[in-house]
Structure 1
Amino acid sequence: MHQKFTLATPLALTAALLLTGTASQVQATEGGISSWPMGIENYGMGILPPPGTYGQVFVGNYLADTLRDNAGDKAADIDLRVTTIVPRFVWVTEQKVLGGNLGFHALLPLNDIRLNVKNGPHDHKRGIGDAHLGPVIGFHHSDKFHTAVGVDFVLPTGGEYDKNDLVNLGNNYYTVQAVYAMTYMDPNGFNADVRLMHDYNFENKDTHYQSGRELHADYTLGWGMGNGWVLGVGGHAYQQISDDKCSASNCAAAALVDANDGNRGRSFSIGPAVQYTSKNGWSLSAKWQDESGVRNRAEGQTYWLKFTTAL
């Protein structure tokens, strides 16, 4: 299990989808986005590796062509494309906490965001997104069953924020995310992973907008082929569990939030997922997932690659 792992911590796909007109009335959370790119993780998401230093590189591409309203109906035709490269460094210490290994991680995404609204405005930005860092504790209950618990802090480092721009590289607010992940791994049989996450979003000081709390999970199911390969499916489930708020006297969105019952969003995705772990310890995974059941958010599909190795 030396390299077959993904920490239970968020990665940024920080595209600020700030649509105008009718579209702006159906966004869940500010800009219709979250700090966590839903469904990014793959097999082994609950496994923390042995003490040491590790590196990961995520490469992702998100494509969306529709914005859905509170009833799930099409509210706008869009062309949203977000490409991101995310290097992450992980340090697992010898220190034991509650019987588990203590680790830390840090990452800084590089984003390229293009947004075109049909018969409307368009924008394009490229640069550094919001940084993520935090501690994690990993537990190995058996050679097949593993869990991890952690807290991640998302910092608003995503370039210069302008509330009047169509897209921004970062969210311009802090997020605290609590995480609990579980993995059942059998190289010659059934594999299952789930990571549960709860996000608390702080207020955007430039817009006086506070996105609601979010509850979501990444999951995978697969079968180990006995030769390093795992084949199956994966995706995410997402539900916003509290209303957005924008109560300041100079907040233009306050009336829209009230009119749309808090702008609560939800979505679900599923698609094929595959991973290969070499005898030398490095691993490479790939997945594609298609969204459905979307409310108050953009609807699209995502492609992800992930490479993991010891440093």
Structure 2
Amino acid sequence: MHNKLSKNILNILLLSAGVGGLLTGFASATEGGGGAYPNGAEGIMAGALPPPGFYYVNYATHYNADGAQLPVDLKLDVSANVSRFVYMTEHKLFGADYGTYMVVPLLHVSAMLDTHSPAGTISSTESGLGDIAFSPLVLAWHSKNWHVATGLEFVVPTGDYDKHNLANLGRNYWTIEPVFAATYITDYGLELSGKFMYDFNTENSDTDYKSGQEFHVDYAVAYHTGPWTLGVGGYVYKQTTSDSGAGVTDPDGNKGQVLAIGPSVKYDLAGLSIEAKYQEEIWVENRPEGNKLWLKMSLPL
């Protein structure tokens, strides 16, 4: 029973790319149910990259969820501390500032499954390095009211992975992710921001399973007043193509979706930026349903 359940769940938790996909699912919604990107990581000023220089961004986050939208009694707890290193050069390309970045996640992942059978409760906990992400190309344009950025991100399977584990630190496949982000700020301080991403996943060589393509957006609506920014934000996630491989039984390819929303507050002082936010997941399909807490700090080096 233990091996059968482990095979069916097949990565209930897989985190990566700087806070990881922050959760996964049950026989669904890409392998393990999560994506390579940590949905909700960005929001306020998502399209505004910094001027030339070297910058450090730290994300501390906690996610907890249950299997309310799954046919299992599942509890998930994920904590992550993620370092993003950003370098913006003084060079121009197509009239934009040119830069690059790398994201290094450290994760603590716990999963507990009540089998409602003689096997009882199965649990798993893992800690360590997740899947590293990097972008060799980031372009940023700026004007009085607009900030726009685009890039191409690669997620590398550096985190530990075992197909028999309930919890894993990595996804064991590459993800290629084009990114487009934009921020509009009115003269009166109202901000609209969005970070738009589309994921192409390679096959997991250990399971011969290929996750479908994924569209997701981090968003924020906020108001700037002095050093403070107050707003509402979250993320939208929708799997757009079907999974393929062993374990795909749903006619629509086990596609997942989620919408998350919650309050955000940000404070800026002399180059230092600190942001706190809470996000509650709703309209969930083929994934666990939970909430996230974030604390983000960025500063020039």
Q: Please indicate, yes or no, whether the TM-score normalized by the shorter chain is above 0.5.
A: yes
Counterpart of 1:86, as a letter, is: V
The count of aligned residue pairs is 279
| Residue aligning to 1:127 | 128
Q: Render the CA deviation track for 1:240-281: whole Å, top value 9, x for unaligned.
A: 0000010xxxx4x2xxx1334200011001000111111x11
| Residue aligning to 1:243 | 242
Structure 2 distance, partners of 1:271, 1:295, is 19
Unaligned runs of 5+ in 1: 1-9, 19-23, 69-73
Counterpart of 1:265, as a letter, is: G
In the alignment, does 2:267 pair up with 1:267? no
| Residue aligning to 1:54 | 55
The question of whether the paired residues in 1 share the 8 Å contact of 2:264 and 2:276 is answered with yes
In the alignment, does 2:211 pair up with 1:211? yes
| Residue aligning to 2:10 | none
SS of equivalent residue, structure 2 residue 249: helix
Structure 1 distance, partners of 2:188, 2:111, is 44
TM-score by length of 1: 0.86
| Residue aligning to 2:13 | none
TM-score by length of 2: 0.89
Counterpart of 1:168, as a letter, is: N
| Residue aligning to 2:277 | 287
Alignment of 1:287-306 (within 5 A): 287-306=277-296
Q: What's the CA shift for 1:53?
A: 0.4
Q: What's the CA shift for 1:47?
A: 0.8
Alignment of 1:142-291 (within 5 A): 142-159=143-160, 161-185=161-185, 188-225=188-225, 227-246=226-245, 251=246, 253=247, 257-278=248-269, 280-291=270-281
Q: What's the CA shift for 1:66?
A: 2.2
SS of equivalent residue, structure 2 residue 32: helix
Correspondent of 1:114 among 110, 113, 122: 110
Structure 2 distance, partners of 1:136, 1:109, is 20
Q: What's the CA shift for 1:167?
A: 1.0
The question of whether the paired residues in 1 share the 8 Å contact of 2:155 and 2:175 is answered with yes
Alignment of 1:78-97 (within 5 A): 78-97=74-93
The question of whether the paired residues in 2 share the 8 Å contact of 1:115 and 1:124 is answered with yes
Counterpart of 1:144, as a letter, is: N
Counterpart of 1:103, as a letter, is: G
Correspondent of 1:137 among 136, 139, 142: 139
The question of whether the paired residues in 2 share the 8 Å contact of 1:267 and 1:293 is answered with yes
Q: What's the CA shift for 1:77?
A: 2.5
In the alignment, does 2:5 pair up with 1:11? no
Q: Render the CA deviation track for 1:186-206: whole Å, top value 9, x for unaligned.
A: 585201100110000000000
Q: What's the CA shift for 1:185?
A: 2.9
| Residue aligning to 1:307 | 297
Structure 1 distance, partners of 2:109, 2:30, is 18
The question of whether the paired residues in 2 share the 8 Å contact of 1:80 and 1:114 is answered with yes
Structure 1 distance, partners of 2:232, 2:188, is 17
More strand by share: 2
Q: What's the CA shift for 1:233?
A: 0.3
Q: What's the CA shift for 1:51?
A: 0.7
The question of whether the paired residues in 1 share the 8 Å contact of 2:66 and 2:288 is answered with yes
The question of whether the paired residues in 2 share the 8 Å contact of 1:54 and 1:91 is answered with yes
Counterpart of 1:218, as a letter, is: D
